Amino acid sequence: MSSIEDIRDNIVQVADSKGTFNGTGFFIEIDERKYCLTCHHCIYGLDEIIVLRNTEINNKLRLEKYVAEWIKEYSDMNKDIAVLAVKDCPIEPLKNSPVALGGLQVLVWGFVGNDLYHFPKGKPVEDCYLSKIPFPFPWEGEDFKGINKWNQKPEVRLNAYQIKNKFQRGFSGSPVCYEITNQVVGMLTAKDDDYGYVIPIQTILERFEEDKSRAKLSVKVSEPHRGSDTKKILEEGKELLNKKMYDEAIQKYNEVISDTNYLTAIFYKAYALSQMGRHRDAIMWYDKALSINPKDVDSLNNKGLGLEYLGHVDEAIKWYDKALAIDPKYVIALNNKAEALDELHNYEEAIKWYDKALAIDPKYTNSLNNKGLALSHLGKYKEAIKWYDKALAIDPNYVSALNNKGWALYNLGNLEEAIKWYDKALAIDPRFIHSLNNMALCFDQLGNFDEAIKWYDKALAIDPKYAFSWNNKGWALHNLGNNKESIKFFDKAITIDPKYVTALNNKAEALDELHNYEEAIKWYDKALAIDPNNAYILSNKGSAYYKSGKTKEAIKWYDKALAIDPKRVTTLYNKGLALDKLHNYEEAIKWYDKALAIDPNNFTTLNNKGWTLYKSGKYKEAIKSYDKALSIYPYYPNALNNKNLAQQRIRKQVQKSG
């Protein structure tokens, strides 16, 4: 399967002997031979057909020139198709579908005729859809005759698909590819103010199919029966069955079952179902394709994707592995396996598989971006930014990478810079919900909760089922002290995603703030049933027990949290508080010291350690602890008051001894 980078690196400029640009061309492979395709109207006036290719050497672009030979037997002037042979051109051919199907999403990559300087490798036009059916497309001929065989322009008559989008001059001859597989399904031939027109791949291949010496079009399927009478073949098969000629009957049925068009239709029906979110139905159709061709790597890969969407991540990995067993260099499956491992929180292993994908295609932006995400999940935000930057160097408009760089900056505490990158993402896609939500988080962290709520509302206006924004809006209300109202929004998030651990915990925290400790503990338990090793929630549950007066029970839960995260400062501090409440002052001081060994400038812990020392009668040591707290926060009222009490005690001791 081709990648989007393969499409970009495949296209070439079609020019005359002086290098004057006249259109776009691209390469496909047929019968193990490579051909360059372009539109006939791009070459009919040329004295010589030249193919120009920009290559990058030492970070500099160099224009390479190749002479092309027009192949009459495969070209079709009346359908605006020119087929060229280009010797010694190292471009890897794109993979093509045997047939174009209407209604599916495509992308087009071509050259901008009036701006080759700024777009030396062309420019994509994405999010396009082929019309459901092709339309008659006439084009008047011209009275033109030159010295070369291709120097004529007869009338054009063909059935072409429409694409509703604006295309710039120079896109004629551009490859049109399905977005899910990046397989070529046609060639852009012309445009008007609102539409582009696409020659279907089956029309381009007609002259090749007429050549009886050529082999099968694709290793995926047997010889297609274009225009064959399926009903007639089935009747012939039945007749053979009646004659008990079973082997011959099976061959007849195989002619229908293994037909290229039939298999392609199955694959794209499955894809269409997956795009509609009907992943179980899609998997059923991928299975049908695989029952005919068990080695179809595209179906193996896409079945894995369907399983992953349904939450069967381990099972999905097995199907990616099956695809990779057939094609170890299948970059998309390598990337998908890495994404699945990332979803299982196996980030180190995920990075290894992203590296395998990048070893084959160093410019595969999905893997560059996703490796950054895996590093972010490991808390390596600075390293992650380097990989987002690599993806953005290739595609500056890659919205996910722009957003993810903002997320890394957010986690590094650089909120103002994070907002700038979210702004860049939203300038390209104002409806990119992740950036809207993350923008709100920045304002939340800046303490501007009202502004944060506005951004959450923008996200929810686009997707009312976006659980993250419902949860985060609830948290903003919680920060404003409106805990009763916040619970309504946590409930909305939980209704959408009953296993949303953060929302379950946040609802418990809101109930905790409302002093409804028993109910809070129930919701902490619901969160822990899903994520039993979450040290943060285990600690929160301990605090709910502590506040409800069940101090010994609280310590049990603090210990469970610390068994998972021994350096969790808040839990170390809370265990010290609980031991203090049980009058176990010596042990409490030990736990405060553990917290201070990690966070020595925590003035609250220093103050409470002082208070425990005070209650132990160690007034001078208590004053030392208060002084440390006051050196960090000179006007800390609790420490000032407590130091005064300790000093009074010392004065009384002096008076008594005197």
Q: What is the CATH number of the domain that holds 30?
A: 2.40.10.120
Structure tokens at 276: 């509609």
State which of 92-101, 151-160, 255-264, 503-512 shows the largest mean pLDDT.
Answer: 503-512
Same domain, 252 and 182: no
Q: Please tell me whether residues 573 and 426 are part of one structural domain.
A: yes
The last residue of one of the domains, among 149, 182, 210, is 210
Specify the pLDDT at position 101: 79
CA 578-580-582 angle, to 5 degrees, is 75
Query: Above 70 in pLDDT, residue 641?
Result: yes
**Are both 163 and 241 inside the same structural domain?**
no
Mean pLDDT is lowest, of 17-26, 72-81, 141-150, for 141-150
Q: What angle do CA 221, 225, 226 make, to 5 degrees?
A: 115
pTM, two decimal places: 0.56
Assigned domain for 647 exists = yes
- My answer on whether 124 and 202 are in the same domain is yes
Task: Give the pLDDT mean for 634-646.
Answer: 92
What pLDDT does residue 215 have? 29
Phi-psi region of 265 (alpha: psi -120 to 50; beta: other; left: phi over 0): alpha
Q: Domain check: are 172 and 249 in the same one? A: no
Q: Which domain holds residue 243?
A: 230-258
Average pLDDT over residues 31-45: 90
Residue of 119 and 600 predicted with greater confidence = 600
**Per DSSP, what are the bridge partners of residue 69?**
85
Among 210, 241, 275, the domain boundary falls at 210
Residues 259-309 pLDDT 10s: 555 666 677 777 777 877 888 988 998 898 888 788 888 889 999 999 998
Position 548 confidence tier, pLDDT thresholds 50, 70, 90: very high
Higher pLDDT, 10 or 658: 10
- Binning pLDDT at 50, 70 and 90, where does residue 224 land? very low
Residue 562 lies in a domain: yes
In a domain, 644, yes or no: yes
Q: What is the mean pLDDT of residues 330-354?
A: 94
Asked if 302 and 270 count as a contact pair (C-beta separation under 8 A), the reply is yes
539, pLDDT greater than 60: yes
Residue 443, in any domain of the structure: yes
pLDDT of amino acid 259: 57
Q: What is the pLDDT of residue 19?
A: 87
320 inside domain? no
Q: With a cut of 50, say whether residue 229 has pLDDT above it.
A: yes
Q: How many structural domains comprise the chain?
A: 3
pLDDT at 13: 93
Average pLDDT (425-454) is 91
Collect all residues with Cβ–Cβ distance below 8 Å to 396 and sequence separation of at least 6.
Answer: none
pLDDT at 164 > cutoff 60: yes
Residue 217 lies in a domain: no
Task: Tell me: do 553 and 450 sit in the same domain.
Answer: yes
User: What is the Cα–Cα distance from 539 to 516, expressed in whole angstroms?
Assistant: 17
CB distance 337 to 361 below 8 Å: no
Let me know whether 110 and 243 are in one domain.
no
495 and 552 share a domain?
A: yes
Query: The CATH number of the domain where 468 resides is what?
Result: 1.25.40.10
What is the pLDDT at residue 349? 96
> Is it the case that residue 58 has pLDDT exceeding 70?
no
Count CA atoms within 13 Å of residue 400 on its CB side.
11
**pLDDT score at 275:** 74
pLDDT at 257: 59
The per-residue pLDDT for 213 is: 34
Most distant CA pair in the chain, distance: 126
The answer to whether residue 220 scores a pLDDT higher than 60 is no
Instruction: Let me know whether 585 and 508 are in one domain.
Output: yes
CB proximity list for 636: less than 8 A, separation 6 or greater: 603, 607, 629, 630
Domain membership flag for residue 397: yes
What was the pLDDT predicted at 412? 95
247 and 200 in a common domain? no
So what's the pLDDT on residue 503?
95
Residues 247, 178 share a domain: no
Closest CA to 524 of 536, 508, 501: 508
pLDDT mean over 1-5: 72
One domain, residues 51 and 147: yes
The share of the chain scoring above pLDDT 90, in percent, equals: 56
Residues 6+ apart with CB under 8 A from 12: 24, 25, 26, 27, 36, 51, 52, 53, 89, 91
- C-alpha span between 494 and 455 (Å, rounded): 20
Burial class (CB in 10 A: 0-12, 13-18, 19+), 131: middle
pLDDT band at 116 (very low <50, low <70, confident <90, very high): confident
Render pLDDT for 557-609 as a digit per residue (tens, 0 to 9). Answer: 999 999 999 999 999 999 999 999 999 999 999 999 999 999 999 999 999 99
Nearest Cα neighbor of 645 from 615, 603, 602 is: 615
136-140, 292-296, 635-639: which has the highest mean pLDDT?
635-639
In a domain, 531, yes or no: yes
